[in-house]
Amino acid sequence: MKKKDVVAMLLAGGQGKRLKGLTKTLAKPAVYFGGTYRIIDFPLSNCSHSGIDTVGVLTQYEPLVLHSYIGVGSDWDMDRLNGGVFVLPPHEREDGTTWYRGTADAIYRNLKFIDQYDPEHVLILSGDHIYKMDYDRMLTYHKEKDADCTISVIEVSLDEAKRFGMVNTDENCRIFEFEEKPAHPKSTTASMGVYLFRWKLLRSYLLRNAEHPDTSHDFGKDILPSMLADGKTLYAYPFEGYWKDVGTIESLWEANMDLLCEQPKLDLNDPLWRIYTRNPNQPAEYISPTGVVRNSMINEGCTVCGEVEHSVLFYGVEVGEGSVITDSVIMPKVRIGSHVRIHRAIITEDMIIQDHAVIGPPPEDPSRIVLASGQDEDVLKLLQSSSSSHNNQG
């Protein structure tokens, strides 16, 4: 194998418990976003544009969709003679353990994968975030600082700081302290979960950590604090731009809505930084004479005969005549009948919404985001009752 300067390891194994409903049968990085993407498209496309051509994708929870989605990585220019994208599920080891025990353990169990490329640096990425970043600039910064580890950071509000791993730095951006989800944050500098390590150093810490069963085998809780305590040079790399941790139904909905203003902070239409994705192969969308579309994103293959306002429609969605959809995210191949009302909702893939159905937040909680999923019994009951109540009237 040819030596690589950088190998990226993409942690795509989490379920994302707060996205329950969307991730019951789907790993979180495989969740749909932005009318045409999946969350994992963002780190993979960032690697592609940054000149990183060797990526290990660590899967664990419900990996089948991710495996078939990524394939040989040709959509991200990763189908390489030397390098490429490799999906790395957990496997049984001598000691009988199977599942990855934590983020650091996932990397530890794939030492052989990384060692074969003998990289100078290893970039650890999360598959859970939506952002565009040139990792090559971070690498340049990392080398300039002669850092053992560089962590990408972003400024967040004081409110948000309580749910992130916070980083405290001196005036040179050198890190002197970590605070994991602090109740009283000392700063507003949050870790983005993007770490760039010297591989030889990281390797030694992983080997040592593996010998301690009483730890979490986690970068944020174990590896990074250990490095700091040992006096290693850790630097923060300031990132400015759109970055979203879509950890909840509300934040996923919010991130989709962020795209609908005229000049969104996340510019997906930059020809120099395309977000690559698997092509669903659909014809141009059709807006019928009875269709009305405003302040929305509509993907190819959709047929719109009703009204769509301030919403995101993924590919292959059908909207019947007389239906009204507002402030909603409609995932691929949903079929919406006629005279349906959908408000502040996320409708999951392949759902069929019967004529005259009403989906939206309850009157007592009008700002709630409703998730309509095929596995959600309450929604099915709601749909049936809406249909039957109309039948009674008619």
Among 23, 36, 46, 152, binds another protein (CB under 8 A): 36
327 is a contact residue toward another protein (CB under 8 A): no
Closest distance to another protein from the beta carbon of 8 (Å): 20
70 is a contact residue toward another protein (CB under 8 A): no
Q: How many CA atoms lie within 13 A of 276 on its CB side?
A: 16
Closest distance to another protein from the beta carbon of 301 (Å): 8
154 is a contact residue toward another protein (CB under 8 A): no
289 is a contact residue toward another protein (CB under 8 A): yes
349 is a contact residue toward another protein (CB under 8 A): no
φ, ψ of residue 357 to 5 degrees: the values are -70, 150
How far is Cα 174 from Cα 288, in angstroms, rounded to an integer?
Answer: 58
How far is Cα 301 from Cα 286, in angstroms, rounded to an integer?
Answer: 7
35 is a contact residue toward another protein (CB under 8 A): yes
**Cα torsion angle, 316, 273, 311, 322, sign:** negative
Q: 100 or 315: whose CB is closer to another protein?
A: 315
Q: Of 5-13, 135-143, 290-298, 319-327, which part binds another protein (CB under 8 A)?
A: 290-298
Among 281, 367, 391, 392, binds another protein (CB under 8 A): 281
300 is a contact residue toward another protein (CB under 8 A): yes
How far is Cα 271 from Cα 79, in angstroms, rounded to an integer?
Answer: 22
277 is a contact residue toward another protein (CB under 8 A): yes
Closest distance to another protein from the beta carbon of 54 (Å): 21
DSSP string, 70-127: HTT-GGGT---SS-EEEEE-----TTS--S--SHHHHHHTTHHHHHTT--SEEEEEES
Distances in whole angstroms, Cα of residue 200 to Cα of each of 114, 197, 312, 354: 11, 9, 45, 58
How far is Cα 36 from Cα 38, in angstroms, rounded to an integer?
Answer: 7
105 is a contact residue toward another protein (CB under 8 A): no
50 is a contact residue toward another protein (CB under 8 A): no
Closest distance to another protein from the beta carbon of 19 (Å): 22
Scanning the structure block, which residue is given the tokens 């530890």?
108
Nearest Cα neighbor of 344 from 303, 382, 372 is 372
262 is a contact residue toward another protein (CB under 8 A): yes
Among 186, 212, 294, 381, binds another protein (CB under 8 A): 294
Q: Tell me how far apart the 2 most distant CA atoms of the chain are, in Å.
A: 75
Query: Which residues in this chain contact another protein in the complex, by CB under 8 A?
Result: 34-36, 74-75, 260, 262, 268-269, 274-277, 279, 281, 283-289, 291-300, 303, 308, 312-314
